Structure 1
Amino acid sequence: VPLSSSHEGWTALRSAAWGGHKEAVRLLLEAGAEIDGCDSDGRTALRAAAWGGHEEILLTLLDHGAEVDRSDREGRTPLIAAAYMGHKEAVEILLNAGANLNLDTDGMTPLLLASYEGHEEVVELLTLHLSIFNCNLLIVLQM
């Protein structure tokens, strides 16, 4: 179900996710809305929910198979959006879903953006996640 609603390609699902409308998201998914449909800038419903810090919608979209690392035209992922906006719980949900901590096309990382914006709790969470990842990587490399 494409359900495009504007010249910029905003789908009904992306609009509902952006606005934090949980029931609308659920109904649209039941009606067959394309989970990773995106607007003209490549932004998905998952990225919209991450930007808005809508945790329940993030979980719903991920449960329905949304691609956690789908980036927009600028290379920005849902994790980068959540970190930039300082949504700690959203960042945690995305990390638990396996979100990648890679750079966007401008060389920005979720950690750098959260730090720049002064989101201390998000910085702590991302730093902890990076520490665990690096320890696990060292163990694998030493095998």
Structure 2
Amino acid sequence: MSDQQSSTMTQDEHALFAEEVFERARRGDAAMLERLLLAGLPADLSNHKGDTLLMLASYHGHQEAVRVLLKQGADPLIANDNGQLPIAGAAFKGDLPMIRLLLEHGVPVDAAAADGRTALMLAAMFNRSEILDFLLAQGADPNRQDFRGVTALVAARTMGASEAAARLEALAG
């Protein structure tokens, strides 16, 4: 085997390495992620589903890993193949501390992927009242529409999220 061949990874080794990196993000291994990023790993690396390291870390509630990724330049506005942004994933999961962290790092409160769905809409759909109130207090627009013309109120009604619908109806007032 030549020196060049021995110093390069096989395709299978690359796949295993990538799989391990994504697993580190899912588990929130902030120290390892930081070492890899400082060694040249792209901060916006994404898997076969379009999930970035940031999406995986935020979706699984790992604040320190999210801080590391953001500090190393990860873009919080990259959507996965399902059209979800990290802030939307956090709203879906009901993770208010993660939403706070993302907003503190400059994510717009009404950030949306191509489908136009915001964190407020997801909070409304799943009756996440505390998140709904927080996002509204941060200036989220309750009248914003997704690409189908659906507002947070319509989303809440459609999903039977009665508490969220009542809060939004009171705003419309």
Q: TM-score range by the shorter chain?
A: 0.7 to 0.9
Aligned AA (2:47): S
Unaligned runs of 5+ in 2: 1-41
Any idea what the Cα deviations from partners look like across 1:55-98, whole Å, max 9, x if unmatched?
A: 00001110111022122222211111111121111111211121
Question: Is 1:106 paired with 2:148?
Answer: yes
Larger radius of gyration: 2
Aligned AA (1:46): I
Question: Is 1:29 paired with 2:57?
Answer: no
- Cα root mean square deviation, aligned: 1.8
Aligned counterparts of 1:112 and 1:128: Cα–Cα separation in 2? 14
Q: Which residue of 2 aligns with 1:59?
A: 100
Q: Which residue of 2 aligns with 1:125?
A: 167
Unaligned runs of 5+ in 1: 132-143
Aligned AA (2:114): R
Identity %: 34
Offset of 1:106 from its aligned partner? 1.5
Q: Which structure exhibits the higher relative contact order, with contacts defined as CA atoms closer than 8 Å and separated by 6 or more residues?
A: 1
> Which stretch of the first structure deviates more once superposed, 70-79 or 58-67?
70-79
Aligned counterparts of 2:160 and 2:84: Cα–Cα separation in 1? 24
Q: Which residue of 2 aligns with 1:140?
A: none
Aligned counterparts of 2:129 and 2:100: Cα–Cα separation in 1? 14
TM-score, normalising length from structure 2?
A: 0.67
What SS does structure 1 have at the residue aligned with 2:172?
helix
Offset of 1:104 from its aligned partner? 1.3
Aligned AA (2:67): R
> Which stretch of the first structure deviates more once superposed, 9-18 or 52-61?
9-18
Length, aligned pairs only: 131
Offset of 1:2 from its aligned partner? 3.1
Any idea what the Cα deviations from partners look like across 1:91-124, whole Å, max 9, x if unmatched?
A: 1121112112222121211111212222222112
Aligned counterparts of 2:82 and 2:43: Cα–Cα separation in 1? 16
Once the two structures are superposed, the pairs formed by residues 7-26 of structure 1 within 5 Å of their partners are 7-26=48-67
Offset of 1:41 from its aligned partner? 4.4
Aligned counterparts of 2:134 and 2:74: Cα–Cα separation in 1? 22
Offset of 1:50 from its aligned partner? 1.1
Aligned counterparts of 1:105 and 1:127: Cα–Cα separation in 2? 21
